[in-house]
Structure formats: C-alpha cells, structure tokens
Amino acid sequence: MAQPRVDDLLRRLLVQCAPEQAVTAADIATGYRSGLVVTGPKPRHTVRHLRRTGYAGPILCDAGRYSGSHPLRAGAGLRGAWTAEQHDLGLVALTDSGYLSPGDWPGLHRLLADARGHPPPLLVTLPLGAGWFAVPAWIDRLVATLNNARLPVAVAVVGESFATRYVTRGLVRLLTVTVPVVLLRSDIGALGAVCHGAHAGALATTSGLFVPALLGHHRPAVLARIVERTPGLADLWPCGCPECGGGVPGDLSPDGIYRHSLHAQLALGDRLLSARRDLTAMTGAWRAQCEQALSVHEEIADLMPPWPVPPALRWWRDAQPPSVGASVPRQNSYDASDRRERIDRRTS
Ligand SMILES: [Zn+2]
C-alpha cells in the first residue's frame, strides 16, 4: 500500500465507531468520500480485518486515553510505541494523547514536544476540555501556538456537546489555524466544521435516526409523530438510502437505523463538499442547510408546540469566521491550496 498521507483525509466526513461497528461502517463509508476512525486501545485486529476484507479507505485509530472515568492527563505525554504501531498498520498516526483540561498549557506543550520526536505522518490529538472554547483569548493563543508548532492536529471536544454556543463559536475561531485540523467525535457539526475549513471531521453519534431535513438525530417515534401531524411537509421525509428505498424511515431495526443515519449524513456530506475546492461555497452551502432546517423546525413548532427548535442550528448559521491573522507557511506541503482558499475568502 502507498504511504498514507494527512492529505488523503482532506475534506472527508469520517465515521468514528467502536471496533464492533467497524465492518458495518466501512461497508457504508466505501460508497462515499469518507473514512473511518476506530476508537479503542487495541485496534490492530480490526484494522487488519478491514484491510483483509478489502476496505481501502482511510483509517485512523483513536486510542481514547483521554476519555472514560479515569482519563489520562496530557502531561503524561505520548507513547512512541502507539505511533509506531499505527505506522506499522499503514496508517496516519493519531497520537494517544491524554486529556487537556481548560488552560493546561504545560500539557499542550508536552504533547507538541513529544510529537515532534515521532516520525510523520501523524496528527497530534488534542482532547480539549470544552472550557477552552469559552475564552476567546485562549483560542487565539492556541491558534498562535499551533501555527508555530506546524504539526497537523486532531481535536476532540471533551465534556460538552456541540450544543453549546461558545463551543461552536470557539471552534470556528480555532479553524483559522494554518495547520490541518481533524475534528474527532462530533455529530453532524463535523460537516459544519469541514465547511468552515477543518481538514476532516468525524461523525460519532450512534443513537437516534438522522433526519436530513431537520439536520439532526431524532427517535423514530418522534419522526412518526411529525409525519402524522404535518401533512404539508410530506415531501421532506422519504429517504433514498438503501435501507429506506425511497420510503419514510420508519420500521427499521436498530442496525437499520444506524445504517440509514450513516448513509443520510455521508450523502449530505458528499453533496455539500462536492465544491471542495472552494471554501466560501462550502460555508455558504452549510449555512443554507442550517437555515432550511431551522425553517422546517419552526414550521413543526407552529403545528406541534412546544417543539424545541435546536439552538445549535442558529449558532452554526450565524457563526462568523474571524479574519485570518496568521501568515501562511508556504513551505507547508500538506495543504497549501487549502490555505490559499482561506486567504481568498478573507479578501473577497
Ligand atoms: Zn434512509
């Protein structure tokens, strides 16, 4: 197999899953511009199995040492053996970083220093406590630190969902960095992030039924109630994925719900990211998608009070990328074209 490159991940909506879901996820991801993030401390067997059975798309392995009831702290540093194993498996290595509590600058510097000693290709995993995003000055300092370090990174937001205004805002601000950023463990917000300049983003939501017109996951019983109560919106619900075959997703098994949800999100990703040479067009397409979903939610709220309109859609719609202040490292080979786009957007 050819040497894997961080570049291979550009503008991909990835599927993050446990090893036991990997075969299903790979089967679906193959049909789209996607890839896998396998979560767990022992991914070797899963990766080998996926390759043996012909899955040729990108795979990343998230060791997940930063999560769980006793998360490792970032100050513990990185294990060279983990990075070496990823390379041995033919993968871009995601470092096995510990948790970065808000403002843990020594931990951040430890991760970056350790990563400098590991061979490429690699992404420095930054499991950021949500509190990092609450302080714009921290995000700006983080951007400056990462620009200086010139190592591609993978960010996971730990401890809060994306349904938090400051996380969405802070993330969009963070995405002005000049190094590639892969967003791990997200929901459909991963697509929003890629549309705002993230290198790639990973979908990790595993429960609920993804409803494209609502841009979110809902319980099947809730969708059934909406369908019944809003006859005027009937065109919005049928799904063309292989699970639904043009019908309204209804009587699906839990596995069928998972498969439908992946198909529906990845199809949306392919549609929005098809203009992937043009970041401005992607940001506009994502905003329009949020706007459309908001108007559907508002119509449902009129017919089915007190339907909660998800505020995250408004935050994404209104997120303003700040102007790019940092200089562009020309010798940065992994995605110079991407950086130029960002500069173009600033000046247009
Ligand atoms: Zn479907």
Q: What is the band of 323 on the pLDDT scale with cuts at 50, 70, 90?
A: low
Determine what percent of the chain is predicted with pLDDT higher than 90.
83
| Residues 16, 146 within the same domain | yes
Q: What is the band of 332 on the pLDDT scale with cuts at 50, 70, 90?
A: very low
Check pLDDT > 90 for residue 337.
no
Average pLDDT over residues 286-293: 96
Check pLDDT > 70 for residue 158.
yes
| Residues 195, 313 within the same domain | no
Average pLDDT over residues 221-235: 96
Report pLDDT for 322: 63
Q: What is the band of 2 on the pLDDT scale with cuts at 50, 70, 90?
A: confident
| Alpha carbon of 86 to ligand 1 centroid (Å) | 34
Within a domain: 347: no
* Residue whose tokens read 């809902």: 218
Q: How far apart are CA 334 and CA 105, in angstroms?
A: 26
Domain of residue 57, CATH code: 3.20.20.80
Check pLDDT > 50 for residue 50.
yes
Q: How far apart are CA 70 and CA 182, in angstroms?
A: 25
Name which residue leads in pLDDT, 107 or 2. Answer: 107
Name which residue leads in pLDDT, 267 or 69. Answer: 267
Query: Which residues line ion ligand 1, judged by CB < 5 Å?
Result: 239, 241, 243-244, 249, 260
| Alpha carbon of 60 to ligand 1 centroid (Å) | 26
- State the pTM of this model: 0.92
| Residues 69, 20 within the same domain | yes
| Residues 167, 238 within the same domain | no
Q: How far apart are CA 169 and CA 318, in angstroms?
A: 9
Within a domain: 303: yes
Average pLDDT over residues 35-58: 98
| Alpha carbon of 3 to ligand 1 centroid (Å) | 35
Q: Which of 4, 30, 11, 46 is nearest to 262 (CA)?
A: 30
Report pLDDT for 186: 95
| Residues 256, 124 within the same domain | no
| Alpha carbon of 128 to ligand 1 centroid (Å) | 33
Amino acid, single-letter form, for residue 266: L
Within a domain: 302: yes
| Residues 163, 44 within the same domain | yes
Report pLDDT for 163: 58
Name which residue leads in pLDDT, 263 or 275. Answer: 263
Domain end (from 205, 239, 259): 205
| Residues 57, 157 within the same domain | yes
Domain holding 100, by residue range, is 6-205
| Alpha carbon of 307 to ligand 1 centroid (Å) | 23
Amino acid, single-letter form, for residue 221: A
Report pLDDT for 331: 33
| Alpha carbon of 316 to ligand 1 centroid (Å) | 25
Report pLDDT for 237: 98
* Average pLDDT along the chain: 91
113 CB-near residues (< 8 Å, 6+ apart): none
Q: Which of 179, 206, 177, 205 is nearest to 191 (CA)?
A: 205
Check pLDDT > 80 for residue 160.
no
Residue pair 105/133 in contact (Cβ under 8 Å)? The answer is: no
Q: What is the band of 161 on the pLDDT scale with cuts at 50, 70, 90?
A: low
Tokens representing 36? 């896998």
Q: What is the band of 336 on the pLDDT scale with cuts at 50, 70, 90?
A: very low
Average pLDDT over residues 226-243: 97
| Alpha carbon of 49 to ligand 1 centroid (Å) | 27
